[in-house]
């Protein structure tokens, strides 16, 4: 996984680079806008981490040029500019994320994982069981060819159950993987979302996909086709 950092603060660029290398990424660094743009165009990167205030060309110009050349490399903006307008401008121009300085390095890693997972999901783009079809790229769900509108969290919940097909997924596991929080036993948050998901997925068909295993968790049984 190759990442380009375009950042004019040498110490920050060096530490991000060091941290990313420790986590197994290959990293190139540029401290100049025009040079960074050239590197992004010449080499093939999985991700660009881009500052906004740069010598040569500023970050917004770099995004404009990269997108102008039909280069689809995902860009995450790292900036001390935190005005909502700047964030909107960056995202509107095609950046996939905007991280405000100062940031937690673990959060940066997590956001990089989200973006690169999106890229690598090119390998498996669809999950299918019975009449249910899940498009992981378009983030669409169909049952009997009818499009079902799910929230992000419901989508992730369904994906977790499908990826663990024929295995009971416990509530603790769901809480950790989907909410990243351990809920107390008295909480009803997973039940409420599962109820909503069931209403949307199984509501109008007889063949119910999601089954509750009392005291254990939830399960989808069947044959999973990955494509």
Residue 15 CB, nearest distance to other proteins (Å)? 4
Residue 217 CB, nearest distance to other proteins (Å)? 18
Is residue 216 classed exposed, middle or buried when 0-12, 13-18 and 19+ CB atoms within 10 A define those classes?
A: exposed
> What CA–CA distance (Å, rounded) separates 218 from 211?
6
Query: In 3D, which of 64, 47, 56, 53 has the Cα closest to residue 12?
Result: 53
* Of 94 and 203, CB closest to other proteins: 203
Is residue 197 classed exposed, middle or buried when 0-12, 13-18 and 19+ CB atoms within 10 A define those classes?
A: buried
Confirm if 109 and 206 have CB atoms less than 8 A apart: no
Residue 138 CB, nearest distance to other proteins (Å)? 21
* Of 69 and 105, CB closest to other proteins: 105
* Of 110 and 124, CB closest to other proteins: 110
Element (H, E) at 212: strand 210-213
- The footprint of other proteins (CB under 8 A) covers 9, 11-12, 15-16, 18-19, 22-23, 78, 80-85, 88, 100-106, 151-153, 179-184, 186-189, 191-192, 195-196
Residue 16 CB, nearest distance to other proteins (Å)? 6
Find the angle CA(127)-CA(128)-CA(132) to the nearest 5 degrees.
120
* Of 25 and 224, CB closest to other proteins: 25
* Of 72 and 83, CB closest to other proteins: 83
Residue 216 CB, nearest distance to other proteins (Å)? 21
């Amino acid at each position: 996984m190759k990442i380009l950092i375009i950042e004019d603060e040498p110490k920050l660029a060096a530490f991000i680079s060091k941290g990313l290398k420790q986590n197994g990424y290959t990293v190139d660094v540029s401290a100049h806008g025009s040079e960074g743009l050239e590197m992004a165009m010449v080499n093939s990167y999985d991700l660009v981490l881009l500052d906004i205030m740069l010598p040569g060309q500023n970050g917004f110009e770099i995004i404009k040029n990269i997108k102008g050349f039909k280069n689809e490399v995902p860009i995450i903006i790292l900036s001390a500019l935190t005005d909502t307008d700047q964030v909107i401008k960056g995202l509107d121009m095609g950046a996939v994320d905007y991280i405000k300085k100062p940031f937690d390095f673990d959060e940066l890693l997590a956001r990089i994982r989200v973006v690169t997972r999106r890229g690598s999901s090119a390998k498996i783009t669809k999950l299918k069981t019975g009449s249910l079809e899940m498009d992981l790229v378009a983030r669409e769900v169909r049952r009997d060819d009818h499009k079902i509108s799910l929230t992000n969290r419901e989508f992730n919940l369904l994906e977790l159950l499908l990826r663990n097909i024929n295995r009971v997924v416990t509530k603790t596991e769901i809480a950790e993987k989907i909410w990243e929080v351990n809920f107390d036993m008295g909480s009803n948050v997973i039940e409420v979302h599962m109820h909503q998901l069931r209403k949307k997925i199984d509501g109008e068909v007889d063949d119910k996909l999601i089954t509750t295993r009392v005291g254990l968790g939830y399960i989808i049984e069947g044959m999973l086709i990955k494509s």
